Amino acid sequence: MRIAYNAILLGNYFSGVEVTISSLAVMLARELGNDFHIFLNNHSRERYSFPNASCHYAGLPRNSRISRIAWEHFLLPGQVKKHGCDLLHCPGYIAPYKVNCPTVVTVHDAITLLRPELCKFSNRLYYRTLMGRSVRQAAQVIVPSGVVKDQLVKLFGISPEKINVIPFSPALVFKKIDDTDLLAQVRIKYGLPEKFVLSVCNHEPKKNIAGVIRAFAAFKDKVKDYKLVLAGRDAWGTGETVDIIRQLDLTGDIIRPGYIPLAVLPAVYSLSDMFLFPSLDEGFGIPVLEAMRCGTPVVCSDRGALPETTRGAAVCVPPTDIKGIAEALANFAGNSGMRRDFIEKGFKRTAELSWEKTTKATLEVYRKAVE
């Protein structure tokens, strides 16, 4: 069975979607070898390596979404046919408008349809136009959580039997780092304080950056000797961040290192005292698992799939409950027994998940799709 895999979304920055697309591609390449045909853009050639697979590169302008969408819908189907592929897997929400083989589509969340105010207008327009068609025409659909499965059934009226819940796992690099020299180097490079609460995400409305800052301010009223490290790139819609920091007089208490490369993140997680992720909605929420695997206790939102993803291994609080979030952070800071308990729960939860399991389940979906 020859599988085509559309990885054209992979670019310069890793967010949760890019982590899952690349991590799964690595594992599928090991299993399928040259029968696994990965389609990427030219600028991904050096950044991503899939030595066992058949890699094909599109010469698209860097960061040109219009070019990428046009290529996916008008050129990718011809490439799939040219290489004799039996199935096309589209791991980024949308399948080509028309393709002459069965498709599998991975839908990470339905936030653009259910919470459009949290999303860019261009995303809302594109997904509203094509997501329904993509999942209806797909032979099989993959989602990371039961929450997203239920949402797709209600939104599009498709059979639940066609939707496969396959949880993701943190990227293979994530583990607790004990190398004191490496930790010291990372601390110096990013200006990390001795004690800090960590938040890692693309800075966009659904990540509730304002809530992170306000919750930290409330926490700081209770516990004085912590800083906030607000990591991640500025994506869109959070231009008020600097103003909020200034209004709350937190300029000296918040470190903003920007985007931190994936290879360095395990050390940053390992150095942190707590991880804060009060997202307004999530289809899965892979950063909470990254933190857990690095031995960092987690306070996160109770919205979307996060309670399902964490399964009791994190303290889940409504994202608008600033006082509740601050209290949860203070409990971790002041109660070593609770802290140890949740660290152990986090290790156990992440041990239940692996890319080996995800890959095996994905291959089974492929088999169902071509039957």
- Answer yes or no: do 318 and 292 share one domain: yes
Same domain as 65, residue 123 = yes
**Amino acid 273: pLDDT:** 98
Query: Does residue 175 belong to any structural domain of this protein?
Result: no
Alpha-carbon span 126 to 122, nearest angstrom: 6
- Per-residue model confidence (pLDDT) at position 152: 98
pLDDT, residue 257, reads 96
Residue 25 falls inside a structural domain: yes
Q: Which residues contact 262 (CB under 8 A, 6 or more apart)?
A: 14, 19, 171, 173
CATH number for position 112: 3.40.50.2000
304 lies in some domain: yes
Q: What separation in angstroms does the CA of 362 have from each of 31, 168, 186? A: 11, 11, 36
Q: What local confidence, expressed as pLDDT, does residue 51 receive?
A: 85
pTM value is 0.96
Q: Are residues 22 and 149 in the same domain?
A: yes
- Domain assignment present for residue 111? The answer is yes
Judge if 359 and 342 occupy the same domain: no
Q: Is residue 174 assigned to a domain?
A: no
Domain identity same for 152 and 85: yes
Taking a C-beta distance cutoff of 8 angstroms, is the pair 162, 138 a contact?
A: yes
Place of tokens 């800083």: 227
Domain, as residue range, for 274 = 180-351
pLDDT at 12: 67
Tell whether 27 is covered by a domain: yes
Number of H helices, E strands in the chain: 15, 13
- The pLDDT profile of the chain, 371 residues, written as one tens digit per residue, is 999 999 999 976 677 888 999 999 999 999 999 999 999 998 888 788 898 899 999 988 877 889 999 999 999 999 999 999 999 999 999 999 999 999 999 999 999 999 999 999 999 999 999 999 999 999 999 999 999 999 999 999 999 999 999 999 999 999 999 999 999 999 999 999 999 999 999 899 999 999 999 999 999 999 989 999 999 988 888 888 999 999 999 999 999 999 999 999 999 999 999 999 999 999 999 999 999 999 999 999 999 999 999 999 999 999 999 999 999 999 999 999 999 999 999 999 999 999 999 999 999 999 999 98
Q: Are residues 124 and 7 in the same domain?
A: yes
Are 13 and 140 in the same domain?
yes
- Same domain? For 341 and 359 the reply is no
**DSSP-derived 3-state class of residue 285:** coil
Looking at the structure, do residues 44 and 108 belong to the same domain, yes or no?
Answer: yes
My answer on whether 223 and 96 are in the same domain is no
- Whether 255 is covered by a domain: the verdict is yes
Q: How many domains does the chain have?
A: 2
Are residues 75 and 187 both part of a single domain?
A: no
Contacts of 182 (CB under 8 A, 6+ apart): 267
Asked if 111 contacts 119 with a C-beta cutoff of 8 angstroms, the reply is yes
Do 152 and 184 belong to one domain? no
pLDDT at 176: 97
